[in-house]
Amino acid sequence: MSFFMKFIFKPGDQKEYKKIIQKEDCAIFNGELLHPVYATFALARDFEWSSRLFFLEMKEPDEEGVGTLLLIEHQSPAFVGEEVVITATVEKIENHELICTIHATASERLIASGKTGQKMLKKERLNRLFKNKVK
């Protein structure tokens, strides 16, 4: 199987994703609001999106990325209405896997840091894996 992913980024390159925290981004379980702050699970979604911004430019039409790694250290709250800036930095690209370090800040305050990993695969292979439910 050949890959055609565009290797257009290098370690140190960055993408920035800005987001205003909404009520839907808070810790809500079974309809109950636990805390009116940016939930760790919402951070996970947004960490993955921030690193996917690289893949949107790297992938060919017949390719798609899948997550391989997610590490989050949630260090400070961000409140509804606050703007959070999530910065993804390429750590390495190896064997068609993109590893990024991620930092999220609100008003210069570090909210969270961590890493993401995403691997580029042919859509055809992904469809086979999902259809066959094989690892």
List pLDDT tens digits, range 98-118: 999 999 999 989 999 999 999
pLDDT number for residue 1: 42
What is 78-133 written as a DSSP string?
A: -BTT-EEEEEEEEEEEETTEEEEEEEEEETTEEEEEEEEEEEEEEHHHHHHHHHHT
**Assigned token pair, 37:** 């702050």
The amino acid present at 24, given as its one-letter code, is E
The pLDDT of residue 2 is: 47
Contacts of 61 (CB under 8 A, 6+ apart): none
pLDDT in tens, 28-68: 888 888 889 999 999 999 999 999 999 899 988 888 888 99
Per-residue confidence (pLDDT) for residue 28, from 0 to 100? 87
Question: What average pLDDT does range 11-29 have in this prediction?
Answer: 95
Would you state the structure tokens that stand for residue 47, as one six-digit string?
């960490």
Report the CATH fold assignment for 14-132.
Thiol Ester Dehydrase; Chain A (3.10.129)
Cα 54 from Cα 14, distance rounded (Å): 9
